[in-house]
Amino acid sequence: MLGAPAIAGLPQWYIEGQLANYQSAMRGANPFDTVGLRMKSMSLSLDLEGDLESVAEYVASMPSVTAAVTLTGGDAEAGQLAYGLCSACHGPAGDGNEALGAPPLKGQHDWYLLAQLQKYRSGWRGTAPGDIRGATMRPNTLTMDDQAMEDVVAYIQTLN
């Protein structure tokens, strides 16, 4: 497994923003984040004017596919309560919010969502200088243990 998220159909604004974050080292710069480092190097290949926008437009135009549930340790009912905090940015239905830079969560791989929560909590994400959106997300994960993260992810999977 490459550790790649389900990106087909994600909004163009989000894809463009994340590619730019990789290129500027706001993502993928932590030496422990080997998946992020791989993506950072790939993003740097988009070096011609318009490359980043073209790739983002193409990915956004692809039909989204709902990822299969692979994690079984979470309690969706417990996760629903914890998701209340998440819904402030990502929306009650997990559709995301462009104004807040919050991506859609529904339809994403459960293992990927869990990995990102763990990366925020460990400081692999959300700690780069200038990463305002990451710095907003990270404190939310600092209050969550592994079980709470699995519960929230289990609830997000019910939104599909």
Residue whose entry in the numeric block shows the structure tokens 């404190």: 139
What token pair was written down for 123? 């400081």
Is position 33 within any domain? yes
- We report the CATH number of the domain holding residue 89 as 1.10.760.10
Q: What is this structure's pTM?
A: 0.94
pLDDT in tens, the chain (160 residues): 577 899 999 999 999 999 999 999 999 999 999 999 999 999 999 999 999 999 999 999 999 988 899 999 999 999 999 999 999 999 999 999 999 999 999 999 999 999 999 999 999 999 999 999 999 999 999 999 999 999 999 999 999 7
Q: Which domain holds residue 85?
A: 12-157
Is position 112 within any domain? yes
- How many independent structural domains does the chain possess? 1
Residue whose entry in the numeric block shows the structure tokens 């950072």: 40
Is position 27 within any domain? yes
What token pair was written down for 156? 């997000």
Is position 103 within any domain? yes
Is position 81 within any domain? yes
Is position 4 within any domain? no
Is position 20 within any domain? yes
Buried b (16+ CB within 10 A) or exposed e, 48-74: eeeebeebbeebbeeeeeebeeeeeeb
Is position 7 within any domain? no
Identify any residues that bridge with 102 across adjacent strands, giving them in sequence order.
97
